[in-house]
């Protein structure tokens, strides 16, 4: 059967990864969470005091990029690939609010983007991949056969993210989560290099009032149609 490339871009906490994982599983495709790669580089910068609460040594991060190895290893129990930083599983460590508060600044750096985009293109070169992020349909795979752009109101997204963080026992306030969602939207969509935007040929899905099942079925049907063409 024909293999295609599926890209899912959109604002933070629009549930891209949930539907991307479901879709990859249903189609027998590889799922790649490109945001996890930017988060892993951010974690490196935090662990090495390159980025702190009030400073960010961009030149140092750029000069150390050769020491930052981001990789994925499939976890059979979870049914998806977890992200590793220099050989250590950091799947949980990269999901904290602190990493979320720093990641957009790291993702603005062209040298970081260049390194990660090359790796993402390599991972998708055999097709049969579902990749989610911000620039996947515009920069990483502009020729992808099927592109989605997910949206939902900032409040809907902040509520989802807040619930997730509470489930992970993080002590956070809803207001801080909403502020983070809004500030990441702004930085991600106004940065100079590869800003978040809808590819011309992407299908926009507003999932503010869409159940997970309905959302999955919509994307799955569209994928099946293209695969069977």
Residues 6 or more apart whose CB falls under 8 angstroms from that of 191 comprise: 104, 107, 108
DSSP bridge partners of 16: none
Tell me how far, at minimum, the Cβ of 93 lies from ligand DC, in Å.
13
Tell me how far, at minimum, the Cβ of 41 lies from ligand DC, in Å.
9
**Which of 100-124 are b and which e, b meaning 16 or more Cβ less than 10 Å from the residue's Cβ?**
bbbbbbbbbbeebbebbbebbeebb
Instruction: Give the residue, chosen from 15, 109, 184, 223, that forms a contact with ligand DC under the rule CB under 6 A.
Output: 184
Pick the closer one to ligand DC by CB: 180 or 223: 180
Pick the closer one to ligand DC by CB: 4 or 7: 7
With residue 83 as reference, give the H or E element that holds it.
strand 80-85
Pick the closer one to ligand DC by CB: 124 or 133: 133
Q: Tokens representing 220?
A: 């799955």
For ligand DC (CB under 6 A), the number of binding residues is 14
Spatial separation of the C-alpha atoms in residues 2 and 25, rounded to whole Å: 16
Tell me how far, at minimum, the Cβ of 186 lies from ligand DC, in Å.
10
Instruction: Give the residue, chosen from 4, 6, 7, 12, that forms a contact with ligand DC under the rule CB under 6 A.
Output: 12
Instruction: Return the DSSP state at 56.
Output: B
| Window 185-204: residues binding ligand DC (CB under 6 A) | 188
Tell me how far, at minimum, the Cβ of 157 lies from ligand DC, in Å.
10
Helix, strand, coil share (%) of the chain residues, nearest 5: 50, 20, 30
| Window 97-136: residues binding ligand DC (CB under 6 A) | 103-104, 107, 133-136
Pick the closer one to ligand DC by CB: 27 or 36: 36
| Window 13-42: residues binding ligand DC (CB under 6 A) | 34-35, 38-39
Answer left, alpha or beta for residue 57, where phi above 0 means left and psi between -120 and 50 means alpha.
beta
Residue 70 binds ligand DC, judged by CB under 6 A: no
- Per-residue binding string, ligand DC, 202-221, x by CB under 6 A, is --------------------
Comparing CA positions, the residue from 120, 173, 109 lying closest to residue 5 is 120
Binding site for ligand DC (CB under 6 A): 12, 34-35, 38-39, 103-104, 107, 133-136, 184, 188
């Amino acid at each position: 059967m024909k293999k295609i490339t599926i890209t899912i871009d959109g604002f933070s906490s629009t549930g891209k990864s949930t539907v991307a994982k479901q879709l990859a599983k249903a189609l027998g495709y590889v799922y790649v969470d490109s945001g996890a790669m930017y988060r892993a580089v951010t974690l490196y910068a935090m662990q090495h005091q390159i980025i702190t609460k009030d400073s960010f040594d961009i030149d140092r991060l750029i000069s150390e990029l050769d020491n930052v190895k981001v990789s994925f290893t499939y976890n059979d129990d979870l049914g998806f690939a977890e992200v590793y930083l220099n050989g250590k599983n950091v799947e949980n460590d990269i999901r904290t609010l602190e990493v979320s508060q720093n990641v957009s600044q790291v993702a603005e750096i062209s040298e970081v983007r260049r390194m990660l985009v090359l790796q993402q293109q390599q991972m998708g070169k055999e097709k049969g991949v579902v990749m989610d992020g911000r620039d996947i349909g515009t920069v990483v795979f502009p020729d992808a056969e099927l592109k989605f752009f997910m949206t939902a109101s900032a409040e809907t997204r902040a509520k989802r993210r807040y619930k997730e963080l509470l489930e992970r026992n993080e002590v956070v306030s809803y207001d801080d989560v909403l502020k983070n969602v809004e500030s990441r939207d702004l930085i991600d969509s106004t940065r100079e290099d590869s800003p978040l935007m809808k590819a011309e040929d992407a299908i926009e899905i507003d999932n503010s009032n869409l159940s997970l099942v309905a959302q999955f079925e919509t994307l799955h049907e569209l994928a099946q149609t293209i695969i069977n063409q």
